[in-house]
Amino acid sequence: MRSLLLLLALIALFGLVSSQKAFHSRRLGTEGQIVGRILSEYDPSSRPPVRDHADNSAILVITNIFINRLIWQNNYAEVDLYLRQQWQDSRLKYDVDTREGIDEIRLPQNRKIWEPDTYFTSGKELAGNDKGSKHIVVEPSGYVRSSERKLLELPYTYGTMFPFTNSRQFTIKLGSYQYDIDDIVYLWANSPPLVNPIEVSQDLLRGDLTFEEASAGDCVGNYTVGVYSCIDAHVYFSASTLSGLMSWFLPSLFLLIGSWLHFWIHGSWSVPRTISSAVPFFILAAYYIFMREDSYTQAQGAWLGFCLVLTFFSFVEYFLVICCGGRRSIRYKTLSGQEEHPMGAAKETVEVAYDQGCSSFRNNNGIDVISRVAFPIVTVIFLVIYFIFIV
């Protein structure tokens, strides 16, 4: 009995698969016939005719961009995106039996229709693997939907609110290369929450730099001959507060404070004073030597430059304490005659005195005492000026 039920189930499954394959083959055949019929006398080099009862002669191109992937370089971003466009072409209208279940047809790669000559004016288009990257769908009303993958190189700018956020912005601007504003008008697709002018993948919503917002608008390109329609969008990415603090501000602040520790160490303790004064300075100096200038923002460069200068002065203070520091003088007293000690007369220490010279400040190291107050005050003053005028 079980074997019979299993056999019947297999027969039913085989029949279902066969019917699906037959339906799919029949649909492909019908779509091929429709494509051949609507493109038999179609001229892809001519612009679509003006819509009936239209107020103007321009073709309306509804545009939407989906950003799939981003690679941040030193001064530009590699943007992997999909350019989605929609327009009406009455020459592509077709009739289909509702029983066929065909709501749209996908145009084969080897069949060409008229498309807007859209190009990106704000960046450089990179060559990539374009195989299978363009899809064109035509509805029975002649409404065309196109999706094409693009790889762009776009320059970006920083918008840092020191030290809490680190934002980056790039602009996507596109327009028609040949047709002026009387022939083609671009508009952003804007039907939130389902359709937005700029959409991003889930990967760009998490990570060190995440998508924040996009501001889409219109721009008009004025050239030598004619006025051309164009649209642009400003796309913003930002880093989290903790990421901005941990990446560069806190490490540089700890190095700066670490260069002050030797102010509280006596000048005779040369090893810890050397570590405290030299290590922070050489770390910051090596960072400036080996890092590219465009790897940090202008505000970050100002802060790191201040840290480098102040650690250098801390290093100089270390040498001043050595040069002007204490000198120990010892007085000895001979205990017995030379004849009792062939290697020399035995001596007993009578007095040990410290002459601290220019570093003497009430029996303390005067330069260190002044530095303990001066360096923190200078840092606080710089931070106030930095927040007000530089950031």
pLDDT over 70 (residue 109)? yes
When mean pLDDT is compared across 5-9, 105-109, 277-281, 319-323, the lowest value belongs to 5-9
What pLDDT does 162 receive? 46
Task: Identify which of 358, 338, 359 has the alpha carbon closest to the alpha carbon of residue 347.
Answer: 338
pLDDT at residue 224 greater than cutoff 60? no
Average confidence (pLDDT) over 230-250: 79
Cα–Cα distance for residue pair 388/378, rounded to 1 Å: 16
Cβ atoms within 10 Å of 122's Cβ, excluding its own: 16
> Does residue 246 surpass a pLDDT of 80?
no
Torsion of CA 201, 241, 248, 371, to 10 degrees: 170
Confidence at residue 23, expressed as pLDDT on a 0 to 100 scale? 41
**CA gyration radius for the chain?**
38
Count of H helices and E strands in the chain? 6, 14
Both tokens of residue 264? 């509280």
* pLDDT, tens digit (0-9, with 9 covering 90-100), for 44-97: 989 998 876 667 788 999 999 999 999 988 789 999 999 999 999 999 998 877
Reported as a pLDDT band with limits 50, 70 and 90, residue 22 is very low
* pLDDT computed for residue 199 by the predictor: 94
Question: What tokens were used for 31?
Answer: 């779509």
Distance of CA 42 to the CA centre of its chain: 45
Give 319 or 359, the one with higher predicted confidence: 319
Amino acid at 215: S
Query: Whole-prediction pTM value?
Result: 0.63
Beta bridge partners of 87: 144
CATH 1.20.58.390 fits 243-327+357-390, yes or no: yes
Mean predicted confidence (pLDDT) in 6-26: 52
241 vs 352 pLDDT, higher one: 241
pLDDT tens-digit map of 339-351: 454 555 555 545 5
Q: What is the pLDDT of residue 231?
A: 92
- Kindly report, residue by residue over 267-303, the tens digit of the pLDDT: 778 788 888 889 999 999 988 788 766 566 677 788 8
Q: What is the pLDDT of residue 36?
A: 83
Q: What percent of the chain has pLDDT over 90?
A: 31
pLDDT digits (tens, 9 = 90+) for 145-196: 999 999 999 999 877 554 456 788 999 999 988 888 888 999 999 877 778 8
* Model confidence at 333: pLDDT above 80: no
**So what CATH class is 59-239?**
mainly beta
CB of 199 within 8 A of CB of 66?
yes
Which sequence spans correspond to the domains of the chain?
59-239, 243-327+357-390
> At residue 361, does pLDDT exceed 50?
no
Positions of E strands within 256-326: none
Does 378 have pLDDT greater than 90?
yes
- 261-277: burial string, b at 16+ Cβ within 10 Å, e else: ebbebebeeeeebeebb
Strand partners, 37: none
